[in-house]
């Protein structure tokens, strides 16, 4: 079998493996794609638990549009184009929901909003900075005891429109909806408290019931709930719009999760000795985001197996607190002990990686230097072909390989009856 694996924005990597070793090649499911304009406009005009978008905005001249940053596949610029009639007469302000990520570059702003729109509204475009305490307003305490502070622009806005996309998320259950507020526009301390809950076993992919991370996010929405309208998209593997659900931020999100599960949850017949997880653009921005490809792949990997991450990591490691923790640890078990002794934002990522390293080998093909990866318990490989050839030698001629061609989004699982 010959495969072309995505690498970076436009590149590919060619690999060849014996047919007998291939357990499967998994992508998000093929889903029906209709006319994008009709899908989005119908959702905005026929929302759940809310007036239509135009009616929601009526009677005021301003609105705050909360949009995803460049690490997310949400086609924000296209959606804004399609909603122009609903937004007519509104002087928008844009708040990029960076969470704890860095602010976008000008090129990324143009990617997010479109070049012409960014140029036209540049003075009204803001990037959330979670560490600017003067920009934050305390709005309450979650049921889990998390102190919730949000960006002042969102708290003081008369109307908020959230544009997001809903995909599986390795500890929040799903992205989208309420996640645009927490962590999207939340204070650093709020994000830190929330993400510490990711260490609990209930915080896992596709799970919402009893998930404390998700519960915090719902509680962050509540103070702004009545003045918020959400447009949640479900995309296909090529980032085309499969479905759109709009209106009440929570109702539209929950409906979207069912559609996202249909597209991104992938049953497999059994676990494999070798899993190749490809993280596609834009989540290949750094290792911090690419780790999602590791966490999803673990569900398909046998104990003692080899996980091969393929991600360009265009901007390096990313948020470095998890990397510092892993670099300072003598072993994955030591890393987990240190995390238990004192949590710092980013350590949830280190914990998830350490848990995989305890039960499997992690290899990677990236643009990162080998010594950077070594400190994270990941072995650098010169090419995917070399990694596959060596993995087959290590695991034996009958070893099975599973390819995840969109490892940060698709979630493999062995059904309970399998």
Domain ranges across the chain: 2-28+268-413, 36-264
**How many other CB atoms are there within 10 angstroms of residue 320's CB atom?**
14
| Helices first, then strands: H and E counts in the chain | 16, 20
**How many other CB atoms are there within 10 angstroms of residue 415's CB atom?**
8
Query: Strand, coil or helix: what is 58?
Result: coil
CA angle 121-158-189, nearest 5°? 85
Query: What's the pLDDT score for residue 66?
Result: 98
Cα 54 from chain centroid? Answer: 29
Distance of alpha carbon 186 from alpha carbon 163, whole angstroms: 16
Residues 275 and 300: beta-carbon distance below 8 Å? yes
Cα 353 from chain centroid? Answer: 16
Query: What's the pLDDT score for residue 405?
Result: 96
Residue whose entry in the numeric block shows the structure tokens 């049921």: 143
Query: What's the pLDDT score for residue 393?
Result: 98
Query: What's the pLDDT score for residue 407?
Result: 96
Distance of alpha carbon 309 from alpha carbon 397, whole angstroms: 21
CA angle 252-253-255, nearest 5°? 65
Query: What's the pLDDT score for residue 238?
Result: 86
Query: What's the pLDDT score for residue 416?
Result: 80
Fold assignment, 36-264: Rossmann fold (3.40.50)
pTM reported for the whole predicted model: 0.88
Query: Strand, coil or helix: what is 8?
Result: coil
Residue whose entry in the numeric block shows the structure tokens 């302000």: 93
Residues 307 and 279: beta-carbon distance below 8 Å? no
**How many other CB atoms are there within 10 angstroms of residue 372's CB atom?**
17
Residues 220 and 188: beta-carbon distance below 8 Å? no
Query: What's the pLDDT score for residue 71?
Result: 87
- Mean pLDDT, consecutive 10-residue segments, the chain of 418 residues? 95 97 95 95 97 94 95 94 94 96 95 97 97 97 98 98 96 97 98 96 96 98 97 93 97 97 94 98 94 96 98 93 93 96 92 96 98 96 98 97 96 84
Query: What's the pLDDT score for residue 317?
Result: 95
Q: What's the CATH number of domain 2-28+268-413, 3.30.980.10, 3.90.226.30, 3.30.379.10, 3.30.70.260? A: 3.90.226.30
Query: What's the pLDDT score for residue 158?
Result: 96
Taking each helix axis as running N to C, give the angle between helix 188-196 and helix 212-221, from 0 to 180 degrees, rounded to the nearest 10. Answer: 150
CA dihedral 277, 360, 343, 101 (to 10 degrees): -10
Residues 34 and 234: beta-carbon distance below 8 Å? no
153, two tokens: 């622009």
């Amino acid at each position: 079998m010959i495969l072309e694996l995505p690498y970076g924005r436009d590149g590919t990597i060619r690999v060849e493996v014996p047919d007998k070793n291939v357990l499967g090649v998994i992508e998000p499911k093929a889903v029906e794609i209709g006319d994008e304009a009709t899908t989005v406009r119908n959702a905005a005009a026929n929302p759940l638990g809310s007036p239509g978008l135009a009616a929601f905005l009526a009677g005021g001249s301003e609105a705050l549009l909360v949009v995803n940053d460049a690490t997310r596949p949400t086609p924000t610029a296209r959606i804004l184009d399609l909603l122009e009639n609903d937004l007519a007469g509104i002087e928008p302000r844009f708040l990029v929901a960076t969470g704890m990520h860095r602010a976008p570059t000008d090129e990324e702003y143009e990617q997010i909003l479109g070049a012409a729109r960014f140029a036209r509204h540049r003075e009204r475009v803001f990037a959330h900075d979670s560490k600017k305490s003067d920009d934050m307003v305390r709005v309450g305490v979650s049921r889990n005891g998390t102190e919730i502070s949000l960006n002042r622009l969102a708290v003081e806005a008369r109307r908020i429109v959230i544009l997001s996309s809903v995909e599986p998320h390795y500890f929040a259950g799903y992205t989208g909806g309420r996640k645009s507020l927490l962590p999207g526009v939340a204070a650093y301390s709020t994000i830190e408290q929330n993400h510490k809950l990711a260490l609990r076993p209930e915080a896992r992919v596709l799970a919402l019931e009893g998930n404390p991370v998700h519960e915090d996010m719902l509680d962050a929405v509540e103070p702004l709930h009545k003045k918020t309208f959400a447009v949640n998209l479900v995309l296909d593997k090529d980032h085309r719009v499969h479905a759109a659900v709009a209106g009440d931020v929570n109702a539209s999100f929950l409906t979207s999760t069912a559609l996202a599960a249909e597209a991104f949850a992938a049953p497999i017949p059994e676990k494999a000795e070798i899993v190749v997880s490809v993280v596609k653009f834009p989540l290949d921005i750094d290792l911090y985001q690419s780790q999602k490809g590791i966490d999803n792949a673990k569900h398909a990997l046998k104990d003692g197996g080899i996980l091969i991450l393929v991600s360009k990591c265009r901007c390096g490691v990313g948020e470095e607190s998890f990397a510092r923790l892993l670099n300072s640890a003598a072993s994955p078990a030591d890393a987990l002990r240190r995390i238990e002794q004192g949590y710092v934002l980013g350590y949830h990522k280190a914990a998830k990686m350490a848990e995989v390293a305890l039960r499997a080998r992690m290899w990677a093909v990236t643009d990162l230097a080998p010594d950077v990866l070594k400190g994270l318990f990941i072995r650098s490989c010169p090419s995917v072909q070399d990694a596959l050839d060596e993995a087959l030698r290590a695991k034996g001629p009958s070893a099975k390989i599973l390819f995840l061609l969109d490892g940060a989004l698709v979630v493999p699982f062995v059904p309970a009856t399998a």
